Amino acid sequence: MLMLFLVSGWGFAQNNTNSPYSRYGYGQLAEQGASNSRAMGGVAYGLRDKAHTNFANPASYTAVDSLTFIFEAGMSLQNTNFDNGTNKTNAKNTSLDYLSMHFRVGRDFGMSLGLLPYANVGYDMQMETYNPQEKEKAYVTNYFGEGGLHQAYVGLAYKITRKFSIGANISYLWGDVEHAMMLTFPYNTDAYGVGKREHVGINSFKVDIGAQYSFQFGKKQFATLGAVFSPGYNLNNTTYIQELVGLSTAILTGSSESLLITETDLDADNGIPMSIGVGGVFVYDGRLTVGMDVTYQQWSKVAFMGNKDAFVDRYKIAAGAEFLPDPQARNLLKRIKYRAGVYYNAPYYKLEEKRASNEWGVSAGMSIPVRGRSYLNISGQYARVNGLTSNFINENQLRVNIGITFNERWFYKTRVN
């Protein structure tokens, strides 16, 4: 018996993933931080940066001053190597990661609007099993999926005291996720094959509540503690399953005239988890920033397509730093913000009744002043995904993140005497 395994890459796909692990649930969860956070390993909960939007913690919106309007956009390019111990292959992706605006709406109020990804699905796998002496009995199983979830958010923050701020993001969450499996006999044109498509459409809302407390000790030392809480609940959804039966050639080509298709609508629960994130940032002299975050998401309590045992809990820990040599220097190299970080992630994927993989990564980048208080943000990230089951697949990811931050004094009024 010979088994071949293939992960095929969709060149420069727009959903930013080719990972076989995106076949589970809503797929690969997107990073929720902006460009500066990604360069620092994902640290975000305690960040209060007047020059950047931090939509990972809505309490940070009060950090912007009353004259400033910030617009940010980010994109990424990714190359991934897949290895199952026998075969290797590569895939490339590029995507627009986020758009956001950030501004003050009152003396103690800050506001942000934006578009973000929530999760991405994109995989195409093939497993062929055959006996060389009886090739006509060979069968091929194809697994493929596409889609993802997106969120449009409105966030508002209020500074209760000089040191303490609270905020909330209300997001509209929408998108379609499709997982499919086809079993065919490609060497026997008279043989029948079967297929199954699972479709989940989401149209719902989510809420993220954040808080930050900042304090000073000494003349140059500052610190901020941050926390974010998101309640878990079932989402408004449309779920159905399609079952296909027909000649293998019809299954492979998708010729609906030759297929028997049965569609079943499901009144199924599809949820998102309760999530808690805490972190802290230490700032020295306005030039050195060091921070750490811890995130916990209770995916084991979430149902997907009615299955209440689909996932395991997710954990992530991140640490990072930023260094600004001299913000007043004329030398451009001394006004660049240099960043680096590391993280460890235990994803929510579940296979063979246990966690399917774990992940760790390192990142580094910089923010280059380009005009006034605007920045070009560039960072690189290496991530390693290790499979933990007998059907393991390892991934080596190299990602380049590019962001632009327009930081302008739009509300400044010139006075002429």
Q: What is the 3-state secondary structure (H, E, C) of 366-389?
A: EEEEEECCEEEEEEEEEEEEEECC
Contacts of 145 (CB under 8 A, 6+ apart): 22, 23, 27, 121, 122, 123, 177, 178, 179, 180
Give 204-222 as a DSSP string. Answer: EEEEEEEEEEEEEETTTEE
Burial of 330 (0-12, 13-18, 19+ CB in 10 A): exposed
Domain contains 413 = no
Query: Phi/psi at 332 (nearest 5 deg)?
Result: -55, -40
Mean pLDDT score, 372-380: 90
Contacts of 345 (CB under 8 A, 6+ apart): 314, 315, 316, 358, 359, 360, 361
Q: Residue 33: which domain range? A: 2-408
Q: How many residues does the chain have?
A: 417
Mean pLDDT score, 217-223: 90
Distance CA 90, CA 329 (A): 43
For residues 33 and 72, the answer to whether their CB atoms sit within 8 Å is no
- pTM of this structure: 0.88
Distance CA 387, CA 394 (A): 5
Provide the phi-psi class of 78: left if phi over 0, else alpha when psi is between -120 and 50, else beta: beta
Owner of token pair 């299955």: 307
Cα distances (angstroms) measured from residue 93 to each of 97, 184, 389: 12, 29, 26
Band of the pLDDT at 120, cuts 50, 70, 90?
A: very high
Mean pLDDT score, 77-95: 85
pLDDT of residue 5 exceeding 80: no
Domain contains 400 = yes
Distance CA 112, CA 153 (A): 8
Q: What is the pLDDT of residues 160-178, one digit of tens each?
A: 999 999 999 999 999 999 9
Band of the pLDDT at 6, cuts 50, 70, 90?
A: very low
Q: What is the pLDDT of residues 249-287, one digit of tens each?
A: 777 666 666 677 888 999 999 999 999 999 999 999 989
pLDDT of residue 340: 97
Distance CA 91, CA 340 (A): 26
Domain contains 415 = no
Q: What letter would DSSP give residue 31?
A: P
Q: What is the pLDDT of residues 184-203, one digit of tens each?
A: 887 777 788 888 999 999 99
3-state helix, strand, coil in the chain (%, to 5): 5, 60, 30
Domain contains 417 = no
The two structure tokens encoding residue 377: 């943000």
Contacts of 226 (CB under 8 A, 6+ apart): 44, 45, 46, 47, 57, 59, 60, 210, 211, 212, 213, 278, 279, 280, 281
CATH number at residue 146: 2.40.160.60
For residues 153 and 166, the answer to whether their CB atoms sit within 8 Å is no
Domain contains 360 = yes
* SS3 label, residue 58: helix
E strand or H helix that includes residue 335: helix 332-335
Looking at the structure of the chain, the number of domains it has is 1
Q: What is the pLDDT of residues 221-257, one digit of tens each?
A: 999 999 999 999 999 999 999 888 887 777 766 666 6
pLDDT of residue 3: 36
Domain contains 259 = yes
Distance CA 9, CA 132 (A): 28
Q: What is the pLDDT of residues 350-367, one digit of tens each?
A: 988 889 999 999 999 999
Q: What is the pLDDT of residues 33-58, one digit of tens each?
A: 899 999 999 999 999 988 889 999 99
In terms of DSSP bridges, do strands 337-346 and 350-351 run parallel, antiparallel, or are they unpaired? Answer: unpaired
pLDDT of residue 8: 38
Domain contains 198 = yes
Mean pLDDT score, 315-328: 94
pLDDT of residue 256: 64
Kindly give the residue spans of alpha helices, DSSP state H, lying in 103-182: none
* SS3 label, residue 53: coil
